[in-house]
Amino acid sequence: MGLANLLQEAAQARTKEEVAPENPFRELGFDQNLPRLGWARSLDREAVKKAIKQAEGALAGKEQFIFVGMGGSANGVKALAEGGGEGKLFVLDSLSSFVWKKLSRKIHNWHTVEVVAISKSGSTAETQYLARSLKNIWGEKWTQHFLWLTDRSAFKKLQQEGWGGAKMLPIQPEGREDIGGRFSSPQTLVFLLPLYILLGCSQTALEDFILTYLETEKLQALALEPAEKYRQNQPLFRVNLPQEYTKGFSLWITQLFNESFGSKKDWSVKTLIGAQSKFTDFSQINLIPHKNRFLYLAQNMYFLEYFVAFYSYFQKINFVNQPFVEKYKQAMNDMRGSLDLPPAVDLEGLKEAVAKKIQASQRFIEIVLYFPPSESLKQKLKEILGQEFGDKEILIFEGSDWNHHSYQAAFSDRNTLYVFALCAQKAEVPAEFIGVSRRNEELLKKISQATFKTLVHKSIYLQLKEC
C-alpha cells in the first residue's frame, strides 16, 4: 500500500486501536491515544454546507469581523485577511495594551461587529482573556455579537465559563475532533468561515472553491517528492514564499514546521521564509503557483501538511503532538506573588546584552517582542544586531503568538540565542479597555517570564525603552 493510502487509512480511524499495527501512522499520527489525522480525510461538503447555514444567523447584519484565537486558530485567518480582508476581517491574538487603540480606530460601528472566538479546547488562556475584553462593549446584548468555534466536547466548558448565550459551532463541520490547531486550515471552519465571509457570504462560491482546491492526489504526489529528496536531512527548511504572503501565511508555515518537527529528535529545527539566507544548508521548499489567492493558500496549506506527514514518516517522528509546550505553562502555574520586571535597556544596551550571552555556535538570534512592534523598530533591530553579529541570522516574532508556533522547537534548540522583550513604555488605551488591558498585560508578563525561566540557559529577558 502506498504511503498516501496508509495516511488516508489511518485518517479514517476514530481510535488508535482501529489502525492496523503495521501502518506507520498508528504511531506517528496520534497524540497519545487521541486521533489527529482528520485533515487528511476528504472534506464532507454537505457538512460544510450545513455548518455555514448554522453560522448565517450570527453573521447576518454584520459588516466587520474580529477573529480571536492563538497560533493555528489565528494564522490561517491572517493569511486570508491579507488577500482582500483589509477593513473587514481582523485578528486579535495579542494581550498587549497597544492593540486596543489600533483596533478601535479600525471599527466603524461596534453594533455591526461579530466576534468569532476560536479555541479547540475552549480553555486557551489568551483567547478567553481577549474574548472577555470585548464582551462588555455590548452590555447585556453581547450574545448577539459572539460566535465560538470549538470542539463539541468543549461546549459545556464554555457555558460554565460564562459563554452560555453565545452561538457555538464545532470547528470540524462534521463534528469530529481529530484535527489539531496547526492542521485546522484549510479543512475546517477556522479557514472556511472567514473564506465564506470574503466570498460575499455566497454558499455557491464556497462550494465551487472546495471542489476546485481538493486535488488531493496531485498534492500528495507533489509533497512526496521533496519529502523523499530531503529524507536524510535535518529539518532546516527555507520556504520560498512570495513577498505579498510573508506575514500571516509565513506564521502559519512556521508553526506547522516548528511544532511538527521541533524537539522530536536530537536536532535543532528552523524554518525560514523567503528566498535569501546567510546559510546554504537549508532544504528548499517551493510552493505551488496559482493565480487565485485563496486557492493558492488552500492548496499550499494542504501540500505542506502532506509534506510534513511524509517527511515525518521518513524521520520516524510523531508530527501531531507538541509535548514541550506544557513546560512554560507549568512554570506559569508555579508562579506566586508579584512579577519581577526585567531591566529596561535602549538598543545599544540590547546589543551589549546579546554580546555577553551569545555563543559562537549559535547561528540565530531570535527576538520575541511581547508587544506589536512597528516595521521601523523591526528594521532597526535587524540593522543594529546585523552589523554587530554579521554571521548570525536575525529573526523577529511577536509573543505570545510565538509561544504557540515556536516554543516547541525552541525547547531543544542549540543553535539560537533567544531575546524575550517587553515594552517599557505605557500604551494609550481607550477608556472602555483600561481595566481589561491591565489584566491582560499581567498575563502577558507572566507568559514572558515563564518562557524565559524555562529557556534561561539560552535566552535574555529585558524591556526595550524604544518600542
Q: What is the pLDDT of residues 131-190, one digit of tens each?
A: 999 998 999 999 999 999 999 999 999 999 999 999 999 999 999 999 999 999 999 999
| 369: exposed, middle or buried (Cβ count in 10 Å: 0-12, 13-18, 19+) | buried
Cα dist. 408→64, 289, 382 in Å? 34, 30, 24
132-169 burial code (b ≥16 CB/10 A, e <16): bbbbebbeeebebbbbbbbbeebbeebeeeebeebbbb
Residue 246 has a pLDDT of 67
Segment 256-285 shows an average pLDDT of 91
Q: What is the pLDDT of residues 216-270, one digit of tens each?
A: 788 999 999 999 999 999 999 999 988 777 678 999 999 999 999 999 999 999 9
Cell 546579546 belongs to 354
Q: What is the pLDDT of residues 304-336, one digit of tens each?
A: 999 999 999 999 999 999 999 999 999 999 988
What is the grid cell recorded at 162? Answer: 460564562
**DSSP category for residue 183:** G
CA distance linking residue 353 with residue 375, whole number of Å:
22
Segments in 43-146 forming alpha helices (H): 45-59, 75-81, 99-106, 125-135
Residue 1 has a pLDDT of 64
pLDDT class for 339, splitting at 50, 70, 90?
confident
CA distance linking residue 467 with residue 400, whole number of Å:
16
Dihedral pair phi/psi, residue 142, rounded to 5°: -60, -30
Q: What is the pLDDT of residues 106-116, one digit of tens each?
A: 999 999 999 99
Q: SS3 breakdown of the chain: % helix, strand, coil, rounded to 5?
A: 50, 15, 35
Segment 16-22 shows an average pLDDT of 96
Residue 275 has a pLDDT of 65
Dihedral pair phi/psi, residue 464, rounded to 5°: -100, 130
Cα dist. 120→69, 72, 158, 176, 284 in Å? 10, 10, 11, 11, 32
Q: What is the pLDDT of residues 73-102, one digit of tens each?
A: 999 999 999 866 778 999 999 999 999 999
pLDDT class for 340, splitting at 50, 70, 90?
confident
Residue 277 has a pLDDT of 74
Residue 248 has a pLDDT of 86
CA distance linking residue 30 with residue 41, whole number of Å:
15
Q: Residue 267 in contact with residue 235, Cβ under 8 Å?
A: yes
Dihedral pair phi/psi, residue 293, rounded to 5°: -60, -45
Among residues 424, 447, 451, which one has the least CA distance to residue 98?
424
**Is 90 exceeded by the pLDDT of residue 213?**
no
SS (H, E, C) 212-280: HHCCHHHHHHHHHHHHHHCCCCCCEEEEECCHHHCCHHHHHHHHHHHHHHCCCCCCCCEEEECCCCCCC
CA distance linking residue 326 with residue 450, whole number of Å:
11
Residue 225 has a pLDDT of 97
Residue 279 has a pLDDT of 85
Residue 330 has a pLDDT of 94
Q: What is the mean pLDDT of the chain?
A: 94
C-alpha R_g of the chain: 22
| 12: exposed, middle or buried (Cβ count in 10 Å: 0-12, 13-18, 19+) | middle
This prediction's pTM: 0.96
Segment 384-410 shows an average pLDDT of 96
**Is 80 exceeded by the pLDDT of residue 392?**
yes
Q: Which domains does the chain have, with CATH numbers?
A: 1-34 (no CATH), 45-209 (3.40.50.10490), 215-322 (no CATH), 334-464 (3.40.50.10490)
Residue 278 has a pLDDT of 80
What residues contact residue 47 under an 8 Å CB cut-off, 6+ apart?
Answer: 173, 174, 175
Cα dist. 426→439, 445, 461, 466 in Å? 14, 14, 18, 11
Tell me if residue 87 falls in helix, strand or coil.
Answer: coil
Residue 217 has a pLDDT of 82
